[in-house]
Amino acid sequence: MGAGFAARLIRWHKRHGRHDMPWQSTRDAYRVWLSEIMLQQTQVATVVPYYQRFLGRFPTLPALAAAPVEDVMALWSGLGYYARARNLHACAQAVMRAHHGKFPRDPDVIAGLPGIGRSTANSIATFCFGAHAPILDGNVKRVLCRAFGIEGFPGSGAVEKRLWSLAEDLMPTRAGDIYNQAQMDLGAMVCTRSKPRCAACPLADMCIAKAAGHTAELPMRKPRKVVPQREATLLVLLHEHRVLLETRPPAGIWGGLLSLPELPAGSDAAEWVARHFACRIIAVSPAPTLDHAFSHFRLRIAPLVMAVKPGRQTMEPGLTWLAFDHLGSAALPAPVRRILESLYASGNKPLDSRKR
C-alpha cells in the first residue's frame, strides 16, 4: 500500500502539483524555514508578498538574528499569529548561537529550536537535506483521514498518534521531498476542506471516504465549544496628528506589538487618561465598534477617540506618540491598524487638537 500510495502522488505532482512558489527553487534552509513558519494556518496567496518583503529586509539568517525584534514584528504586522514572529526571531538567534549560523540537518535537533514542531522540522530536513521524514500538517491530515477512513478529531492525541504511524509507514525511500510536497498540494488543491474535487484525485479509487460518501464528514471537526465573547474599550488619544500607542506585553494577544491603550472596565476615561498618561482631554467622540475573531474567543472593540493635550514631556517606558503618516511601517495588530487607517482616511478634523 505504501509504495503504491506514494507513487501515485509523486506521478500526480509531476503533472499537476505546484511548482512556482518562490521557496520551491531553493534548498536554503533559512528560506524554506521562513516559508514553513509563514504558511502555518495561512494561505499561500497571503504569504507570498510577506515572504518577499521579509527576504528583502532580512535576506539571510544572520541579518534576521541581528535585527531588533520590533523590526521583525513590524514586517509581520497583519499576518496574524504573532507568536510565530517572536519565535522566528528567537530561532534565528538560537541557530547563530548554538549552530554557528547554519541550520542543523537532523530533524530531531531542528524540532528543538524555538517555534518548530515535528512536522515543520521534518519538512525542513526533507526539502533541504534529503532526510527520510514524514510530515503531518493540516492538508496531509485531511488527505490521510479521507483516504484511509480515519475517524475522530485529528488534533486529538490518539488520532494524531495513529496518523503519525501511518505517515511513517507510507513514507517512500526515495523522492521524499516530492512526496511530501505532493501531499500538501493535493490537500490544498484537490482534497480541500469543502467541495473536494474527487474526480481529479489520484487516490479516488482507493479512498475510503469517497467510497462511503463521507468526504464531508472526514476529517472530523473539533468538538464545538461556545466561543467566549469579550469586549474592550481602546483609547485613541490624538495630539497634532499623532496617536498614543503602547507596547503590548510579550505574552498574550498581540504580544510585542504596538496597540491602543485599553480602558479597564468601569473606569472613568478622563481620570484614567489623566492619571496614566498625564493628558488633558479636549474632545471625545466614539467610533464604530469592530469585531475581531481570535482562535479561542471573539473580541468586540469599542474605540473611544479623544483629542488630548499632553502635560509632561517625558514618556513612560513602552509608550510612544506615532505620527499618522508612519502607520504603514508600525507593528500594529490588524484591527488596530483598521481603526487608525479609517480615522486617518476621514481626516479626523472634528478632533484636531491643534485647532483648540
Residue 137, helix vs strand vs coil: coil
Domains annotated for the chain, with CATH where assigned, are 2-212 (1.10.340.30), 229-355 (3.90.79.10)
Give per-residue pLDDT as tens, 189-208.
999 999 999 999 999 999 99
Q: Annotated catalytic residue: which of 36, 168, 217, 246?
A: 36
Give per-residue pLDDT as tens, 296-330.
899 999 999 999 999 866 678 889 999 988 888 89
Q: Which own/partner pairs from 95-99 qualify as long-range (CB within 8 Å, at least 24 positions apart)?
A: 95/61, 95/65, 96/61, 96/62, 96/65
Say if CB 265 and CB 249 are below 8 A apart. no
Q: Which of 86-90, 115-119, 271-275, 293-297 has the lowest mean pLDDT?
A: 293-297
Chain-centroid distance of CA 22 in Å reads 18
pLDDT at 224 over 90: no
Residue 124, helix vs strand vs coil: helix
Question: Cα–Cα distance between 286 and 185 in angstroms, integer?
Answer: 47
0.85 exceeded by pTM: no
318 CB-near residues (< 8 Å, 6+ apart)? 246, 247
Q: State the chain's mean pLDDT as an integer.
A: 92
Q: How many CB atoms lie within 10 A of CB 325?
A: 10
* 271 carries an active-site annotation: no
Cell numbers 508612519 correspond to what residue? 326
Give per-residue pLDDT as tens, 145-196.
999 999 999 999 999 999 999 999 999 999 999 999 999 999 999 999 999 9
The predicted structure's pLDDT at residue 2: 58
Question: Cα–Cα distance between 191 and 193 in angstroms, integer?
Answer: 7
Residue 205's alpha-carbon distances to 8, 154, 167, in angstroms, are 11, 23, 20
pLDDT at 260 over 60: yes
